[in-house]
C-alpha cells in the first residue's frame, strides 16, 4: 500500500461499506464491532455513516486527502480488505474529494 493511499481516505468517505452481518463481532468468527454498523437488509450491514450521502465511515479518523487512519483497521470488513488502491473506483472517490488520481505501477 502506498503512502498516498494511507493519507487519502477518499474511499471511506464516498462508498457505502456493506458486508455480510456474519463479519460483525456478534459472531465468534466476526471482527467488525457491531455497534459501528447499521442493518441494511436481513443479512447485510454497513458501516455507520456510509449509508448516507455525503458518506463518511464512522471508523475513519483524520482529514481526507491529508492524513487519515481507520480506528478498526485490524478488524475491518472484507469489503475494506478487498478494495484496491489505484482502481477506477478509487480514483473516482479521490476525484470527488479533489485529490489527484493514484497510479499504481
SS3 of residue 47 by DSSP: strand
User: What does the mean pLDDT of the chain come to?
Assistant: 93
Region of 83 please: left (phi>0), alpha (psi -120 to 50) or beta: beta
CB 72 within 8 A of CB 80: no
Q: What is the pLDDT of residue 27?
A: 82
pLDDT at 28 (0 to 100): 81
The whole-number average pLDDT for the span 10-27 is 96
Instruction: Please give the backbone phi and psi of residue 3, each rounded to the nearest 5 degrees, phi first.
Output: -60, -35
Round to whole Å and give the CA distance between 7 and 23.
26
Contact 7, 66 (CB under 8 A): yes
User: pLDDT value at position 104?
Assistant: 78
**pTM, whole model, 2 decimals?**
0.91
Q: What is residue 3's predicted lDDT score, i.e. its pLDDT?
A: 67
pLDDT for 29 equals 87
Amino acid at each position: 500500500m502506498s503512502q498516498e493511499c494511507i493519507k487519502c481516505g477518499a474511499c471511506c468517505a464516498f462508498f457505502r461499506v456493506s458486508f455480510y452481518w456474519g463479519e460483525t463481532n456478534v459472531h465468534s468468527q466476526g471482527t467488525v464491532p457491531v455497534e459501528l454498523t447499521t442493518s441494511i437488509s436481513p443479512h447485510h450491514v454497513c458501516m455507520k455513516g456510509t449509508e448516507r450521502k455525503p458518506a463518511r465511515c464512522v471508523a475513519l479518523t483524520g482529514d481526507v486527502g491529508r492524513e487519515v487512519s481507520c480506528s478498526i483497521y485490524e478488524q475491518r470488513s472484507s469489503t475494506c480488505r478487498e478494495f484496491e488502491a489505484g482502481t477506477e473506483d478509487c480514483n473516482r472517490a479521490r476525484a470527488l474529494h479533489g485529490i489527484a488520481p493514484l497510479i499504481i505501477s
